[in-house]
């Protein structure tokens, strides 16, 4: 950017001149923090695929549940943008927010359903539950969708998304031992179902 008006050697770097992804991302974040919805749109475009993939797997392939969750996540992200301080990658921050949102929503749903439905951990049959639309690639996605909830969460968070046992335990509010047990169970069930 050429400036003819004011000579100064302290002009900040500009996305168009740097060409660095990171600078653009920080710029968008800053602008979104100031209330610029268009900047938030850029962030959405950049990160929604990742987040939607996570939501879809957490919600056993149900596209309408997954979409609803993802929308919740981004609206929350918008509201809490000011708490993002750049001390970790924005993608990680968003990711954690997604997991937390899912868990919080689940807790609310549980409380609401507690008296209405018995709490059970039955798996959702992939074909029956899924809304039309997204073609989940490969048997693997279907198989994950058939896992019981606890096993599915542990598997998606650990083996797909790369969280550590300890983190998963903290977020789910269970012991590391439980997470490991769920993981073993998930892997065993998947092997059985994929070998068929």
Partner 1 sequence: MMGAAAILFVSSPLVAQKKVERKIPLGMEGAVRIVNMVGSIVVHGWNKDTLMVRGTLGAGDQFFMGGGYTGAKMFVESANDRDPKPARLEVWVPARARVWVKTATASIDVSDVTGGLDLYTVSGPIDVTGNPHELNAEAIDGDIHITGSPPWVRAKSASGTIVFQGASSDAAFSTVSGAVKVDGGVFERTKIETVTGNINFSGQLDRSGAFDFDTHSGSIDIAIPEKTPASFSVVTIAGGITNNLSKTGPIPGRFGRGAELTTDVSGGGAKVSVRAFKGQVTIRRTK
Partner 2 sequence: MTHEVIRHLLDDYVTGELTEDARGPVADHIATCEICRAEVESINQILTRAAELPKSIDPPAGAWLNIRAAIERDKSAITTEHAHSERFWRRPYVLAAAVVLVAVLSSGGTALYMNSRDHDASSARVTASNQGSESTPASLAAFTIQENTYLRNVAVLQDVLDQQEASLAPETVAQLKASLHTIDEAIFEARNALARDPANKMLIEMLSGTYRQKVDLLRRTTEMTRGS
Q: Where do contacts with partner 2 occur on this chain (CB under 8 A)?
A: 33, 35, 37, 40-41, 44, 48-50, 52-53, 56, 63, 67, 70-71, 74-75, 78-83, 133-134, 137-138, 140-141, 155, 159-160, 165, 180, 183-184, 187, 190-191, 194-195
Q: Which does 44 bind (CB under 5 to 8 A by kind): partner 2, partner 1, none?
A: partner 2
Q: Which does 74 bind (CB under 5 to 8 A by kind): partner 1, partner 2, none?
A: partner 2
How many CB atoms within 10 Å of residue 99?
22
Q: Which does 127 bind (CB under 5 to 8 A by kind): partner 1, partner 2, none?
A: none
Give the C-alpha distances (Å, rounded to integers) separating 13 from 8, 23, 90, 94.
Answer: 13, 8, 20, 26
Q: Which does 71 bind (CB under 5 to 8 A by kind): partner 1, partner 2, none?
A: partner 2
Show contacts with partner 1 in window 157-196 (CB under 8 A): none
Of 11 and 188, which has the nearer Cβ to partner 2? 188
Of 79 and 85, which has the nearer Cβ to partner 1? 85
Residue 163, Cβ density class (10 Å: 0-12 exposed, 13-18 middle, ≥19 buried): buried
Measured at the alpha carbon of residue 134, what is the angle toward residues 136 and 139, in degrees to the nearest 5? 10
Q: Which does 56 bind (CB under 5 to 8 A by kind): partner 2, partner 1, none?
A: partner 2
Contact call for residue 19 and partner 1 (CB under 8 A): no
Show contacts with partner 1 in window 53-82 (CB under 8 A): 82
Distance CA 51, CA 37 (A): 19
Q: Taking each helix axis from N to C terminus, what angle separates 138-146 and 176-195, rounded to the nearest 10 degrees?
A: 130
Interface contacts to partner 1, rule CB under 8 A: 1-6, 8, 10-12, 14, 16, 27, 30-31, 34, 82, 85
């Amino acid at each position: 950017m050429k400036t003819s008006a004011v000579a100064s050697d302290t002009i900040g770097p500009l996305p168009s001149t740097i060409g660095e992804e990171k600078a653009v991302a920080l710029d968008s974040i800053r602008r979104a923090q100031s209330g610029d919805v268009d900047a938030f749109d850029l962030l959405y475009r950049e990160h929604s695929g990742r987040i939607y993939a996570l939501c879809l797997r957490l919600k056993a392939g149900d596209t309408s549940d997954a979409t609803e969750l993802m929308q919740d996540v981004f609206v929350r992200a918008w509201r809490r943008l000011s708490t993002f301080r750049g001390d970790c990658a924005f993608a990680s921050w968003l990711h954690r927010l997604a997991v937390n949102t899912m868990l919080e929503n689940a807790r609310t749903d549980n409380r609401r359903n507690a008296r209405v439905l018995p709490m059970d951990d039955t798996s959702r049959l992939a074909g029956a539950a899924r809304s039309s639309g997204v073609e989940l690639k490969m048997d693997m996605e279907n198989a994950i969708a058939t896992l019981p909830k606890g096993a599915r969460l542990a598997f998606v968070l650990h083996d797909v998304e790369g969280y550590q046992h300890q983190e998963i335990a903290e977020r789910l509010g269970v012991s590391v031992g439980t997470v490991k047990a769920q993981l073993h169970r998930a892997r065993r069930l998947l092997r059985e179902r994929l070998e068929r």
